[in-house]
Structure 1
Amino acid sequence: MASLPQPTQPLPPPFNRPPPPSTVRPQMTLNPHPPPSSSSTNTNANKTTSLAVTQNSRSKILESQKLKDKEAKERKEETNNKIASRKAISVILRREATKALIEKKKKGSKRLLPKTVLEALHERITALRWESALKVFELLQEQLWYRPNAAVYVKLIVMLGKCKQPEKAHELFEAMIEEGCDVNSESYTALVSAYGRSGLFHKAFSLLERMKTTPDCQPDVHTYSILIKSCLQVFAYDKVQALLSDMEVQGIRPNTITYNTLIDAYGKSKRFAEMESTLVEMLSEQDCEPDVWTMNSVLRAFGNSGQIETMEKCFERFQSAGIQANIMTFNILLDSYGKAGKYEKMSAVMEYMQKYHYSWTIVTYNVVIDAFGRAGDLKQMEYLFRLMRSERIKPSCVTLCSLVRAYGLAGKPEKIEGVLRFVENSDVMLDTVFFNCLVDAYGRMGCFAEMKGVLEIMEQKGCRPDKVTYRTMIKAYSANKMIGHVKELRELMESAEGSQMTWSQREKPDFQ
Structure 2
Amino acid sequence: MVTLPGASINPFPPPDLNHRIPETKTPTKNFTHFRVADNDETVRKDRKEAVNKKIASQKAISVVLRREATMAVIEKKKGMSRLFPGTVLEALHERIAALRWESALKVFELLREQLWYRPNSAIYVKLIVMLGKCKQPEKAHSLFQAMIEEGCIVNQESYTALLSAYSRSGLFRKAFSILDEMRNTPDCQPDVYTYSILIKSCLHYHEFDKVQSLLSEMVSQGVKPNTVTYNTLIDAYGRAKRFVDMESTLVEMLRQRECKPDVWTMNSTLRAFGGSGQIETMEKCYEKFLSAGIQPDIKTFNILLDSYGKTGNYKKMSAVMEYMQKYHFKWTLVTYNIVIDAFGRAGDVSQMEFLFRLMQSESIKPNCVTLCSLVRGYAQAGKAEKIGGLMRYIESSDVTVDTVFFNCLVDAYGMMGCLAEMKGVLPLMESKGCQPDKVTYRTMIKAYNMNGMSNHVKELRLALSSVGKPDSRR
Question: What TM-score do the two structures reach when normalised by structure 1?
Answer: 0.78
| Cα distance in 2, alignment partners of residues 284 and 123 from structure 1 | 43
In the TM superposition, what is the alpha-carbon distance from 1:159 to its structure 2 partner?
A: 2.1
| Cα distance in 2, alignment partners of residues 368 and 334 from structure 1 | 7
* Cα root mean square deviation, aligned: 2.6
Is the contact made by 1:158 and 1:193 (CA closer than 8 Å) also made in structure 2?
yes
Query: What is the match of residue 189 of structure 1?
Result: 160
Q: How does 1:80-479 map to 2 (within 5 A)?
A: 92-101=63-72, 104-479=75-450
Structure 1 window deviating more from structure 2 (144-153 vs 389-398): it is: 144-153
| Cα distance in 2, alignment partners of residues 257 and 305 from structure 1 | 24
| Cα distance in 2, alignment partners of residues 247 and 178 from structure 1 | 31
Structure 1 window deviating more from structure 2 (136-145 vs 269-278): it is: 136-145
Q: Larger relative CO (CA 8 A, sep 6+): 1 or 2?
A: 2
Deviations 1:161-201 (A, max 9, x none): 22222223223222322332222211221222222222111
Is the contact made by 1:411 and 1:445 (CA closer than 8 Å) also made in structure 2?
yes
In the TM superposition, what is the alpha-carbon distance from 1:127 to its structure 2 partner?
A: 2.8
The residue identity in structure 2 corresponding to 1:431 is D
Is the contact made by 2:92 and 2:107 (CA closer than 8 Å) also made in structure 1?
yes
Query: What is the match of residue 5 of structure 2?
Result: 5
Distance 1:467 1:103, change over 3 A: farther
In the TM superposition, what is the alpha-carbon distance from 1:259 to its structure 2 partner?
A: 0.8
| Cα distance in 2, alignment partners of residues 150 and 472 from structure 1 | 54
Distance 1:144 1:444, change over 3 A: farther
Is the contact made by 2:337 and 2:370 (CA closer than 8 Å) also made in structure 1?
yes
Query: What is the match of residue 24 of structure 1?
Result: none
In the TM superposition, what is the alpha-carbon distance from 1:6 to its structure 2 partner?
A: 4.0
Is the contact made by 1:231 and 1:237 (CA closer than 8 Å) also made in structure 2?
yes
Look up the SS of the partner of 2:424 in the other structure: helix
Query: What is the match of residue 71 of structure 1?
Result: none
Deviations 1:291-338 (A, max 9, x none): 110000000111111111111111010010111111111111111111
The residue identity in structure 1 corresponding to 2:11 is L
| Cα distance in 2, alignment partners of residues 102 and 192 from structure 1 | 34
Structure 1 window deviating more from structure 2 (104-113 vs 177-186): it is: 104-113
The residue identity in structure 2 corresponding to 1:295 is M
Distance 1:258 1:423, change over 3 A: same
Distance 1:341 1:428, change over 3 A: same
The residue identity in structure 2 corresponding to 1:334 is L
The residue identity in structure 1 corresponding to 2:219 is E
In the TM superposition, what is the alpha-carbon distance from 1:363 to its structure 2 partner?
A: 1.2
Which consecutive unaligned segments of at least 5 residues does structure 1 have?
14-84, 507-512
Is the contact made by 2:3 and 2:285 (CA closer than 8 Å) also made in structure 1?
no
In the TM superposition, what is the alpha-carbon distance from 1:456 to its structure 2 partner?
A: 3.0
Deviations 1:419-446 (A, max 9, x none): 3333334444433322221221122122
| Cα distance in 1, alignment partners of residues 116 and 429 from structure 2 | 48
The residue identity in structure 1 corresponding to 2:78 is K
Deviations 1:182-241 (A, max 9, x none): 222112212222222221112212222222222222211111111111111121111111
Deviations 1:72-99 (A, max 9, x none): xxxxxxxxxxxxx999957524543345
Aligned length: 432
In the TM superposition, what is the alpha-carbon distance from 1:410 to its structure 2 partner?
A: 2.2
Question: What TM-score do the two structures reach when normalised by structure 2?
Answer: 0.84
Higher CA-based Rg: 1
Distance 1:128 1:383, change over 3 A: farther
Is the contact made by 1:407 and 1:413 (CA closer than 8 Å) also made in structure 2?
yes
| Cα distance in 2, alignment partners of residues 118 and 87 from structure 1 | 26
Distance 1:390 1:157, change over 3 A: farther
Query: What is the match of residue 19 of structure 1?
Result: none
| Cα distance in 2, alignment partners of residues 136 and 431 from structure 1 | 34
Distance 1:143 1:399, change over 3 A: farther
Is the contact made by 1:193 and 1:204 (CA closer than 8 Å) also made in structure 2?
yes
Distance 1:441 1:12, change over 3 A: closer
The residue identity in structure 1 corresponding to 2:242 is R
| Cα distance in 2, alignment partners of residues 423 and 145 from structure 1 | 53
Is the contact made by 2:128 and 2:162 (CA closer than 8 Å) also made in structure 1?
yes
In the TM superposition, what is the alpha-carbon distance from 1:100 to its structure 2 partner?
A: 4.3
Look up the SS of the partner of 1:147 in the other structure: coil
Identity %: 71
Distance 1:318 1:435, change over 3 A: same
| Cα distance in 2, alignment partners of residues 4 and 323 from structure 1 | 11
The residue identity in structure 2 corresponding to 1:3 is T
